[in-house]
């Protein structure tokens, strides 16, 4: 995920990206040393883990050294970049977060351990990636958690005589998840900003029978019925009280790949048959941007930028991929600057 926010002045622009430690072993080209940190104001190191029994934050043994040197490493190219330790993520145990956040005692164990790890490893902030609170009780617990986090972060700053840790959260594209509304007032009062997941709207596992704009900024004029989009989600957040200055629009380096039913029908809403069988596509249908570019070159794929949706897709034979490319990213950054 990469994100962009404009708070009105160049000095207050947030240009941030998430980094995942598996690159250190699986793909050296994505190691922390290769991050062009001079292009960013903030970098998120993802993810720390939550112990479901003790409710404490921990870093897996495989990642301890990498996390401990992350801030020092990225500052080699940009001494001003700030780093945040993120916890959670898409594959995290949602019930563990819900259990932890439901009681003050367990929230304290979580918060104290998280702050301790962040401080001891030189991070400048904390990023809560609970994806997602799944009912009214969990939304209320989420609000209690971020309120307690703010209190603890401020107390830590006074106790250590250090700048207060930044406090951010990853949230759904809209302030309403399913039928449950985020505690926007508490978020406004206690978070420095929120990272809005304005992508992954569709994937070939959950929506196997048709192709779709995976990260559209706008809804296609040909679309029938309600459809998620970055613009509609941001407007809902603002309507429910989130200041524009605390909304960071996210976009992703990952695409989603479907198998087409008919290679002559290659637009959005084309009939599909689930996850693409192409060699570089993961079991869940995801494919990295670098692999998408390679696919286009190797397979002489047709690629399209849809200016109405603000999204890209490409296809070759029976493989169809929805993603963000230069055109859509530039447009989204421009949108963020204007909004």
At 152, is the secondary structure helix, strand, or coil?
Answer: helix
Is the confidence at residue 2, as pLDDT, over 80?
A: no
pLDDT above 70 coverage of the chain, percent: 94
pLDDT value at position 26? Answer: 64
Q: What is the CA radius of gyration of the chain?
A: 20
Select from 197, 213, 231 the last residue of a domain.
197
* Local confidence band at 184 (pLDDT 50, 70, 90 cut-offs): very high
Nearest to 328 by CA among 201, 216, 230, 242: 216
**132 and 36, same domain (yes or no):** yes
Q: pLDDT tens across 96-122, in order?
A: 999 999 999 999 999 999 999 999 999
Q: Which of 56, 72, 131, 189 is catalytic?
A: 131
Residue 52 resides in a domain? yes
Count of the separate structural domains present in the chain: 2
**279 and 134, same domain (yes or no):** no
What the block records as the tokens of 272 is 């599909």
Is the confidence at residue 337, as pLDDT, over 80?
A: yes
**96 and 184, same domain (yes or no):** yes
Question: Do 45 and 86 contact (CB within 8 A), yes or no?
Answer: yes
Select from 197, 216, 239 the last residue of a domain.
197
Q: pLDDT tens across 240-265, in order?
A: 999 999 999 999 989 999 999 999 99
Is the confidence at residue 8, as pLDDT, over 60?
A: no
Is the confidence at residue 277, as pLDDT, over 60?
A: yes
**47 and 189, same domain (yes or no):** yes
Mean pLDDT for the chain?
94
Residue 40 resides in a domain? yes
Select from 197, 219, 241 the last residue of a domain.
197
**127 and 272, same domain (yes or no):** no
pLDDT value at position 224? Answer: 63
Domain holding 112, by residue range, is 2-197
Question: Do 304 and 314 contact (CB within 8 A), yes or no?
Answer: yes
- Which CATH number covers residue 95? 3.20.20.80
pLDDT value at position 339? Answer: 78
**12 and 90, same domain (yes or no):** yes
Is the confidence at residue 15, as pLDDT, over 60?
A: yes
Residue 228 resides in a domain? no
**261 and 120, same domain (yes or no):** no
Residue 243 resides in a domain? no
pLDDT value at position 9? Answer: 47
**269 and 191, same domain (yes or no):** no
Residue 250 resides in a domain? no
**306 and 166, same domain (yes or no):** no
Is the confidence at residue 5, as pLDDT, over 80?
A: no
Annotation marks residue 72 as catalytic: no
- Which CATH number covers residue 320? 3.10.50.10
**55 and 191, same domain (yes or no):** yes
**169 and 37, same domain (yes or no):** yes
pLDDT value at position 228? Answer: 96
Answer positive or negative: Cα dihedral of 81, 18, 83, 45: negative
**183 and 260, same domain (yes or no):** no
In angstroms, what CA-CA distances link 309 with 209, 229, 279? 20, 9, 28
Output the pTM of the full model: 0.95
Nearest to 95 by CA among 138, 128, 136, 126: 138
Residue 81 resides in a domain? yes
* Local confidence band at 222 (pLDDT 50, 70, 90 cut-offs): confident
* Euclidean distance between CA atoms 152 and 286, whole angstroms: 38
């Amino acid at each position: 995920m990469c994100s962009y926010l404009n708070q009105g002045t160049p000095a207050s622009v947030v240009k941030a990206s998430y980094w995942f430690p598996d690159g250190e072993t699986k793909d050296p080209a994505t190691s922390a040393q290769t991050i062009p940190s001079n292009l960013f104001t903030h970098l998120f190191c993802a993810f720390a883990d939550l112990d479901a029994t003790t409710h404490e934050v921990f870093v897996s043994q495989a990642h301890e050294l990498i996390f401990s040197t992350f801030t020092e490493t990225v500052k080699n190219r940009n001494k001003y970049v700030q780093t945040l330790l993120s916890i959670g993520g898409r594959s995290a145990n949602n019930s563990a977060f819900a259990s932890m956040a439901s009681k003050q005692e367990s929230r304290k164990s979580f918060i104290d351990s998280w702050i301790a790890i962040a401080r001891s490893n030189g991070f400048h902030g904390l990023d809560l990636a609970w994806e997602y609170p799944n009912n009214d009780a969990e939304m209320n617990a989420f609000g209690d958690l971020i309120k307690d986090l703010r209190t603890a972060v401020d107390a830590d700053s006074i106790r250590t005589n250090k700048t207060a840790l930044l406090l951010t959260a990853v949230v759904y594209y809209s302030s309403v998840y399913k039928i449950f509304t985020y505690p926007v007032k508490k978020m406004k009062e206690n978070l420095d900003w929120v990272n809005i997941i304005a992508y992954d709207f569709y994937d070939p596992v959950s929506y196997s029978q048709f192709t779709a704009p995976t990260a559209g900024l706008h809804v296609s004029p040909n679309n029938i019925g309600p459809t998620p989009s970055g613009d509609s989600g941001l407007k809902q957040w603002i309507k429910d009280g989130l200041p524009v200055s605390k909304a960071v629009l996210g976009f992703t380096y990952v695409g989603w790949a479907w198998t087409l039913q008919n290679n002559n029908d290659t637009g959005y809403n084309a009939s599909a048959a689930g996850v693409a069988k192409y060699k570089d596509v993961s079991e869940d249908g995801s494919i990295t941007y670098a692999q998408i570019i390679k696919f286009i070159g190797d397979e002489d794929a047709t690629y399209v930028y849809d200016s109405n949706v603000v999204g890209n897709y490409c296809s070759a034979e029976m493989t169809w991929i929805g993603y963000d490319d230069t055109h859509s990213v530039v447009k989204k950054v421009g949108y963020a600057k204007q909004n």
